[in-house]
Structure 1
Amino acid sequence: MSLEWEQVNVDAADPVALGRWWAEALGWVVVNDSPEEFEIQPEKDRLPGMIFAPVPETKTIKNRLHLDFRPDDQAAEVARLLALGARHWDGAYGEFPWVTLVDPEGNEFCVLGERRPHS
């Protein structure tokens, strides 16, 4: 038995706009530009991908699941994502080695700092 991770599904008020934002943020390609199922992947035919589907309700609470990204340069990447339209998450508190941002529809994600060696 095998199990392959295929997609992350994201509910969206505007799947096309949010999908294009994530494609730009990640440097991924659009493989389906339908407003009913907008899909991006790292490269054509390379998984996992992300699908953005329309929902009528808006996001109201903190996500139970979010994505973490580890860039080469955290400060530069946070600045780039903010310039693309991300915002700092209002619920962040304390000192952490990561920065929590939200995408244009308010979905949280983290930009991690430098990887620390395991003890």
Structure 2
Amino acid sequence: MLEFVYQHMGENVKPVSALPGKWQEYTITAMPKVIARKMTGCHKSDSRPFAVYECHNVPDTLIRVVPLLGRDGMKVQAVSVCHMNTSSWNAHYVAFYLLKAKPGIPVCHFLATDDIIWLAN
């Protein structure tokens, strides 16, 4: 993983991952803060009984810290990733179906618990 990250981002990087939280409704409590515009993302493969990560670079990405408040009062700092230019993505990608949209629109999501993103330090 590090070899791939260093090759694409250099060696002055830091990993960011999501902390596991309780499954409940959350409310965004303040304007999310942009913390980076470039990243390498590594996703854990679910098809193996051991940890194998597949890493990739996605250009035109905004990474934000999003303050959330859970229904039970729990405060969480979530990480969101917004892919700003999806024009080259497959038109059948599930996000476009769910959003009733076509490639080209920004697609944002929260970082999954098993994912790691690498940011310039």
Normalised by the length of structure 1, the TM-score is 0.25
Between structures 1 and 2, the one with greater strand share: 2
Higher relative contact order structure (alpha carbons within 8 Å, sequence separation ≥ 6): 2
